[in-house]
Each structure stands twice: as C-alpha cells, then as structure tokens.
Structure 1
Amino acid sequence: MAKPRNILFIMFDQLRWDYLSCYGHPHLETPNIDRIAARGVRFDNARIQSPLCGPSRMSTYTGRYVHSHGASWNNVPLKVGERTMGDHLRDLGMGCWLVGKTHMAADAEGMRRLGLEPDSKIGARVVECGFDIWERDDGMRPEGPDGFYDPGGALKYNDYLRGKGYESDNPWHDYANSGIDDDGNVLSGWFLQNSDSPANIREEDSETPYLTRRGIEFIKAQGDEPWCCHLSYIKPHWPYIVPEPYASMYGPADFLPPVRSSAERETDHPVFKGFQNAPVGKAFARDDIRDKVLTAYMGLIKQCDDQMGVLFDWLEETGRMEDTMIVITSDHGDFLGDHWLGEKTFFHDASVKVPMIIYDPSEEADATRGTSSDALVECIDLAPTFVDVAGGDAAALDHILEGHSLLPMLRGGPAPARDCSICEYDYSATPLAARLDLHPDQSRMFMVADHNWKMIHFESGHRPMLFDLQADPDELTDLGNDAAQADTIARMYDKLNAWARRPSARTTMSNASFIKYRTAGPRTGVLIGVVDATEASNDTAAKYIGRKATDKRER
C-alpha cells in the first residue's frame, strides 16, 4: 500500500443512501460499491447542505455552506470570488478535472466587471466551478417552447449517439431517455407512465457506460502529475428510464413500501402540506406511478453499480487502486413517495442523507478498513479532506473551508468536532412561495440535526417541525407543536443560532494571521495610548527617538 497520489471523486445524482446493499437494501445488490465500502469507511450519517442539485454541489465543491457561497438554487451563479476545490488543489500541485455534471452557473456579470474572458484559462476555470474540463455533461437536454433548459447540455453525448446511428435532432431525449412503441412512437421518459418502458438504446450507449468510458480515458491520459478526477454521473436522476437488461430486473416484489403515514397526510403545516400537494408529490402518492418509477430507479442504480465494476476492475488491473483515493457519494436522495413527497426538496433523511464511502490506499488507513461510522459528517468535509490528501493543511484554511478534513478519521483518529448537521433550502422561486404569498426573504428553511433530534425552521414564521430520531427514525411524527418539547426546540434553536453567528464572509485573511497580530503585529510605527518612549515595546518607537530637525517654528 502507498499513500494516495490521486483522488477519484465519484458522485451520483439523486442516489438514495438506503438503495445500496452495503447500506441495507434487502433486494438491490450493489457488490461493486460494496467492495469499496469493504476496503474503506462507510459513513452512516453523511448529510448534504441543500436538497437540490445546484446548491448542494456548490457546497461540496467550495467546502462552504449555502448561506456562505450564496448559490442557493439551481442556476443561481456561484460568485466569482468563491474558491473551489480545484483552486485549492492546483495551489498544491494537483490537477482537478471534471468528467460529467456540476450544475454550475457562471457569474457572468461578475466576470464582466472584472474583465475575465470566459475563453481565457482563468476565465474558463471560473465558468466551470474551478475544474479543468475533460467533458462536462450535466445530463440535461430538455426542450420547451422557450428553448433548451441547458443549451450546452449533452452536446458531445448527442454527437456520440449520432455517430452510433441514433438519428435525431435530440437523441438524448428520443433514445437515451425514452422508450418506443411498436409503431415507432417515442415514449418520452418525461412522462412517469413510461418509466417502466425500456429505453430505446443499446445499453453500452446509454449515459452511465458512456461516462465510465470517458472517466477511464481521462485516467489513461494522465502522466506523472497527481490528479483529482470528479467523475460525476447523471443517473439515477430523472428522467426515470433505463435500457434492458436493467428495465426488467426489478418488480413489485423488490420494492420497499413507502415510508409515510395518514397523520403526515393530514398535517397542519402549510409548507410541508404545500410540498405534498406539488404535482410531483401527488404523482408519487399513486402506487401505480411509484411502482413504475421504482422499476427504472432500481435498474438505473444496478447499472451504475455494474459500471463501477468495470471501473474498479480496470483500476485494479492497472495498479491505480494502489495510489488513488476513491470517494463515492451523491448530491442528494429521492423521496420516491416517502412522506407523500417526490423529488428531494425537503429535509427528511430520504433526501438529505447520502451515501459516503471513502477508500484510502495508505497503510495508515488499514485499521479502519471495512468499518462504518455514525459521526455527523457533511459533504463540505470533502474539500478539506482533499486538501490534506494533496499535502496541504486544511486547518490553515478554516476561514474559507467550513467543513472538517476526514483524513485523520480515515486513519484511526477522531471524528470531526461537530455537534449538529445543517441543511438549507431556498424555495423563493417555486410556485409554493407564490401560493403562500411569501417574500423571497421568507421563502427559506433550515434543518439542524444531531444524533437524537432533527428540527426544521421556517423563515416564513410558521412553527418549526421536530423529529425524535431515536424513537422515530422514519421521521413520521412531527413534534413541532408539542408543548412538552419546548426545551428540545429551544436547544435546537441554540445550535442553529450558533451556526448562524459563525464568521463566514471574512475569507481573505486566515485565523492564524489574526492570532499572530495579537502578540506580533506589524511594527509600522502606529502608537496608540503610549505616554512616552519608555512604554513603547519591541522597538516600535525606534524611528521616533533621538531624531534631529531644523527649527521652523514662527517666533
């Protein structure tokens, strides 16, 4: 075993933590992800910082909370001045490359103001969230009356598909993400009723195998310099549809029942009720639709795991497993009908808890191989972990990086000193905010969770929600209006308020610099409150003593 020279940072999109066999799913076998867990550490309490693709990823890439970096919703630009893992790693001599998705929106106005051209070397990195690009593919090329959701989405992949004979103006939709009937009609994957149809594409040409090959091509092309590769998969994110043989692998006997109760459905909480009544919540409340989606969702995960087998076998054959740290995680989960919700935009663990598995090839990590941890871990911990792997000192960047390096823990040391996890969601651009007549400042909510309790605070002024995670691990009983829990709610608010008071904007000078100033500030001749030369210390008054000048006073 050697120390890791490289980092393979694998992120799936919308992968639930409990839909892997190493996390306990009874019917969905994922032996290839499991084998990394058997060689590394599986974190059982890893949570994201926002239950939506864009802000969650921006927190992971910056190592900072959404409240700090400000990219609070999909396509909200990340400010030009925010440093990302790519910036930190390149300073340490490690390249940082993207293969796949980031959901990054560039701060075009900030770049214009600073004179940064998007096609310059520095400008391109700012546009791409600090990564150098092998291939960016956000996996989204939907088109509506106003045009494409992402004009740059899936362009190279579409070219690849056309080169393989999939003729269409948008083969991403017509083949990779749709089925077909016997009359040749496209059965769009956007319609949930088609989710159990096989995608009309050869399996090897679908998105997950394609990105695996691109990741391997990247690694093959690297020389002797250390690298971090963010291999960022698009699936099992919707559109929920998968090619054969995966489309036929799972059926009702394999599905877990939805985690929900009639009491939840009758909630008096306007925000929670509003999310339940969104179209996606209503769709997943239907068992027939949920069954169709689960057919595809489980098949997509199985395909992802099979491709991990292709990737990890190749790493073994080429010796890369001996010098490469491997991280496997997700940007958020998927409610799949749990709690009468679809999608991910609320704070139950179906959404905010994610798989996180880290394999460290170094001998120092031998003692933790195959172990699990229930430490409170956040996705912002990955950026400082990578800084330490690259030979830096993440602790010296604690004025920028708000997470904690997991490297000591991977090597038998203590868990991060954290007494709660934080997650945020800004829903000010959603129809729900309009229905509730909320100002954007009111359309935000925050989750604070420790090992025992989870509380959700609403800036709208609605009462908090509260869950007893020990007595009610499925989070079915909201205790937020239970007077007997007033002390618990007050304690959780103390945690949230302490987090809100943290310094997060002062990122241009380190904490160490301020500590140094306390006793060894610059001797630049500024003397405040000094009565005479005898009180001056450290020669700070040396330039003022024993000097002569011509007398110019008027007599």
Structure 2
Amino acid sequence: MKAIMVMFDSLNRRMLPPYGCDWVNAPNFTRLAKRSVTFDNCYVGSMPCMPARRELHTGRYNFLHRGWGPLEPFDDSMPQILSEHKVYSHLVSDHQHYWEDGGSTYHSRYDSWEFFRGQEGDKWKGQVAEPAMPPTLKSGAGNPLWRQDWVNRQHMRTEADHPQTKTFDAGLAFMTTNAEADNWFLQIETFDPHEPFYTYDRYLDPYPDTYNGLHFDWPGYQPVSEKPEEVEHIRYRYAALLSMCDRSLGRVMDVMDELSLWQDTLLIVCTDHGYLLDEHGWWAKGVQPWFNEVAHTPLFVWDPRTGVRDERRQALVQMIDLAPTLLEFFGLEPTPDMQGVPLAKRIIADQPARAGNLYGTFGAQVNVTDGRYVYMRGPAVPEQNTPLFEYTLMPMRMRALMELPTLQQASLHPPFPFSKATPTLKLPAHSASRRGAERYGTLLFDLKQDPGQKHPLLDDAIELRMIDMLLNMLRANHAPPEQYERLGLPQQGHADARHLQARAHHDLALQAEKGPDNQIAR
C-alpha cells in the first residue's frame, strides 16, 4: 500500500470548480473530484501554517496551549510513527517556514526530505545591491521580506525555475522511482497559492484582467483600502496562481494513471486554510475572525480500499483527522493522544466524525461549528484578553528564538495528559499573538440563512447550545484553566444566561464590516 498527500497553502475552497466556482481555470480539480470523495464540511483546526502542520503530525489541536512553534519532544508524529513501522516517509516542499526557528523539527521526522528555495521572501539568494523593483502600489520599504522576494524572483524567471515546479518535479520523481516498491508515504507540499501571487503569462493570460496600474501582487494582512479595479486585479492574480497549482495537481494524477497507482495508493488533497480576497473588507488572514472564507476548507480523498469516487460527504472533518487516516490506512492504530479519527468510515457511509469542529488561532476567538451554526467566542473583556499563557518545551517564535524577557518569566507547569508525564514551561503570551481578539468580540452565525456571515445572529437558546458544545471540546482538549477565565466560561458544569456574550460585542465586529447590509439578524 502507498499514500500520497498533495498539500497546498491558502487554497480557497470557494475558488474551486468542485465547490461551485465557474470562472477559475482549474480542470484538474474537477478531474480529481470525479476520482475521489469531496468533503463538504472540512474545517481548519489550528492556524496558520505551522500550527496546522503540528496538527497534521499529531492528530490533536494546537491552538489552546501555544502559538506558532516546532513539534514538542512529547508529540506523536505521524510520519515518524510510519517510519518506525517500516513505512517509508518522504517530504518534498517549498514551504520556507520549515527552515525557520518556529518550524525546525517537522521535516526531520520523515525518512528523507527535499526542499526548494525562494518562496515569499525566503532568505535564499544573497545580493548586497538593491534589486530592481517596478513602481509598486504597496511599498515594501523597510520590509526585508519584500526586498528578498525581489532578489529571489530574479532566479525564477521561467516556470521550470519556480519552487512549486521543482517541488512537484521531485514528487513525481519519487513516485516513478518507487512505483514498484510497497509501504511508502509521499507528502508533496507547496506554499502556493499563498501570497505573493507570482506566476507566469500562460496562467495570467486566460483571465480578463484589464488592470494597468502600479505593480500589485502582494496584499497586506489588513483591511482593504484599494480601489475596486485593484481588488479585481488581485483576485485574478490569485486565480492565475491557483491555475498553476491545478496544472501541478494534474501532473500528479497523470503519473498515477501512467503507473497504475490508483489501484493501491491513497490520495489526499488538502490545504491548511483559505484566504480573504476583500470578503468582510479584509485581505488574507490572522487579525479578523476566522470567517468561513478562511476556515472552511477543501478536502478530497481517494481510498483504493473503498473504491468510492465522484461522491460527496457531509461529515464534519478536520486536519486532526489526517494523521489517524494515514496510520489506519497502513494498518496502524492512532495513538491515545490523537483526537482525530480515520476518514475511511466517513468515506464508506458518511458516518459522523464528531458533533462539532473546534478551530482557532492562539489568543484569539475560539470557534466551534456543528455544520450549520458557527460560534466565535471572544474574550470576556476584549480590551484585556487575559489571562493567557503558552505551554511549550520549544520556546521559539515564527522566525526567532523566544525573547529573553518572556523566558525570564517562565515557570514550570505540571504535565498535561498529552505531554507524557513531562512538565512544560508556562510563559506569558506574546502580545502580537493576541491582537485579533482585542478588536472583536463574540459572534454567532447561521450558515443556512446567512452563508456569507454578514448578519450576526442573536438567539440565546442556540448560543447556549453552542457554548456547551464548545465547553465539551475545551475539556476534551485539556484546555488550561485560564482559557475558561479569558473566555468567561465555566470550567465545570454547563453554561447559563450569565455566560451569554453574543449581544455584548457585536458592535465591535460590525464596525469592521463594509456595506449597509451588515445588520444584526433579529
């Protein structure tokens, strides 16, 4: 048996033809849907990049205990478990965060790995002189990532030189070399279609983009202030890069056809999260609530044991389910600390995986959905958003070691049930990781009546039911006590009227929405 995972970063569900988009050129995603099961209720878990990848390895949520960081010494790692049971694991990727302090323990869990440099300001090519940059709509002055990205682009002028292309070239080479071998797992992971939206004319030309202003392919993580034609231009740029991703996906499927790999090879195609392209008046992700444009993700699975193809499933599933799915496929049991479940039963009979999906980012709103309602629980006192601590034995940030003033406040915390009798450092939360929760409160949405999440709902009975679902998941995840205090929730027992929060802070969220239709639903 063999398994292949194709993982994209920032892949928008709503931009894919199998999920209803009729204008993006992505025929291979349509082809994939006909060869696999399409999941309609897949949601993120912990966000963004490396928190999601910790979930991919461990099968359990990350975001209630810490933010961005490496795997912990006590973590179960799916590819390492496979390796220990004689299933060879190989990673090919251009995702530069694996090389930084905050992602430094992931790639080494595989038997072998290949990385391809150059994405999003990756510190790749050295150039002292300033790179040639066109006049841009968004100035990168003072931003080292922006400068480095323009250095790197000089070395990817053709599609063959692009790190996405090199990543898929390497994945196809592994498939070809090992087609006759058994018991292997290949993870092909590309940073695209993450910003900046840099691609080539063959993908740009089919789109009717008439924009002729200053160069613009990298929006900031901020509210949208651009003109409508500039917003449209970015959407076309994103779509073009997605079309490049679609071609890469098609290459994988072509080789699966040529080598008859469909007969014994599990195929998973997934992403870590989506991306806002002016919806809710925002670009990207990270500060605003995790609206469905970011949190509701695409997922396609072909399991050769079932033979189910060209069908859809409604079960609530998440990133935490992928590690158990891969282990089960190779005849291995998920570890006791894994909270996800294998997807095989969801594929065969659409059996529920869980009553609700929990998701969020460290220090911000804590979200839960039952598939119809989305409940975004904000802090009881948004302007304070306290207390909040991180628990880790790997004190690193995204691109740096944890700062000494924070480490100087560390204390030793008793083991969590999942830390395998190992205490952790308890550290005051980094202020930057809390900024989103400080500007938004609690929100409740009815996705059936309001799929665009424009009209926060006021319904005490539904909110109390969603709070109880949230409490059950917090407790199952061994959330630290201060999370309940921060969110204004009881650590024991059920919620009651004292814990209703939706009315209190709707005005904070509505201030950030655009347009006259953002009224509270009565």
The TM-score normalised by the length of structure 1 is: 0.65
d(CA) in 2 for partners of 1:43, 1:494: 26
**1:247 paired residue number:** 204
1:298 corresponds in structure 2 to 239
Q: 1:205 and 1:279 mapped to 2: Cα distance?
A: 26
Q: Is the 8 A contact 2:156 2:162 kept in 1?
A: no
Q: CA deviation at 1:284?
A: 5.8
**Cα distance, 1:470–1:29 mapped onto 2, change above 3 Å:** same
**SS of 2:185's equivalent?**
strand
* Alignment partners' CA distance in 1, 2:220 and 2:245: 28
CA gap of 1:500–1:189, structure 2 versus 1, over 3 A, is: closer
Partner residue, 1:61: 57
Gapped regions of structure 2 (runs ≥ 5): 137-143, 212-218, 383-440, 480-522
Is the 1:179–1:200 contact (alpha carbons within 8 Å) kept by the matching residues of 2?
no
For residues 29 and 238 of structure 2, the distance between their equivalents in structure 1, rounded to whole angstroms, comes to: 17
AA partner of residue 388 (structure 1): E
Matches within 5 A, 1:316-335: 316-335=257-276
Aligned CA distance change for structure 1 residues 499 and 459 (closer, same or farther; 3 Å): same
The higher radius of gyration belongs to 1
Q: 1:240 to 1:17 in 2, by over 3 A?
A: same
Of 470, 476, 482 in structure 1, the residue corresponding to residue 454 of structure 2 is 476
Corresponding position of 1:445:
365
Q: How many residues align?
A: 400
Show the 5 A alignment for 1:157-306.
169=127, 190=146, 201-222=157-178, 224-251=181-208, 280-283=221-224, 286-306=227-247
Residue 455 in 1 paired to residue 396 in 2?
no
Maintained 8 Å contact 1:17/1:354: yes
Where do 1:20-419 residues align within 5 Å? Answer: 20-67=16-63, 70-73=65-68, 76-101=69-94, 103-104=97-98, 126=105, 128=107, 130-137=109-116, 140=119, 142=121, 151=123, 155=124, 169=127, 190=146, 201-222=157-178, 224-251=181-208, 280-283=221-224, 286-345=227-286, 346-362=289-305, 365-366=306-307, 368-394=308-334, 397=335, 399-410=336-347, 412-419=348-355
Change (3 A) 1:134 1:417: closer
Q: What do the CA deviations read for 1:359-414 (whole angstroms, capped 9, x no partner)?
A: 1223xx23x311011211111111100011011123xx2x211111101222x234
Q: Residue type of the partner of 1:81?
A: F
Separation in 1, partners of 2:344, 2:241: 31
Counterpart-to-counterpart distance in 2, 1:329 and 1:311: 14
Q: Is residue 40–residue 359 contact of structure 1 (8 Å, CA) maintained in 2?
A: yes
Q: What is the CA–CA distance in structure 2 between the aligned matches of 1:372 and 1:327, rounded to whole Å?
A: 14
**Deviation, structure 1 residue 199:** 11
Q: 2:451, 2:176 → 1: CA distance?
A: 44
Shift of 1:347: 1.4
Matched residues in 2 for 1:206 and 1:503: separation? Answer: 40
The structure that is helix-richer by fraction is 1
C-alpha separation in 2, matches of 1:71 and 1:132: 27
Q: What is the CA-CA distance between 1:469 and the residue it aligns to? A: 0.9
CA-CA distance at 1:240 after TM superposition: 1.4
Give the match's secondary structure for 1:280.
coil
Cα RMSD over matched residues? 3.4
1:207-266, CA deviations, whole angstroms, 9 ceiling, x for partnerless residues? 322211111122233362411111001111111121111122213599xxxxxxxxxxxx
State the distance in 1 between where 2:444 and 2:455 align. 8
The alpha-carbon distance between structure 1 residues 285 and 469, as it changes in their structure 2 partners (threshold 3 A), is: farther
Indicate the residue corresponding to 2:491 in structure 1.
none
Give the counterpart letter for 2:109 in structure 1.
G
Deviations along 1:517-553, one digit per CA (max 9) or x if unpaired, are xxxxxxxxxxxxxxxxxxxxxxxxxxxxxxxxxxxxx
1:452 partner letter? R
- Give a deviation string over 1:79-118, Cα, whole Å, max 9, x none: 122111112212332112110056347889xxxxxxxxxx
- The alpha carbon displacement at 1:139 in A equals 5.0
Residue type at the aligned position of 2:8? F
What is the CA–CA distance in structure 1 between the aligned matches of 2:299 and 2:175, rounded to whole Å?
22
1:477 match: secondary structure: coil
For the 8 Å contact 2:50–2:70, the answer to whether it is kept is: no
CA contact (8 A) 2:37 2:311 kept: yes
Moved over 6 A (4+): 105-108, 178-181, 197-200
**1:425 matched to 2:383:** no
State the distance in 1 between where 2:365 and 2:260 align: 46
- 1 CA distance for matches of 2:465 and 2:187? 38
Residue 336 of structure 1: how far off its partner (Å)? 0.7
Amino acid in structure 2 at the alignment position of 1:246: Y
SS in 1 for 2:188: strand
2:12 maps to 16
Aligned to 1:515: none
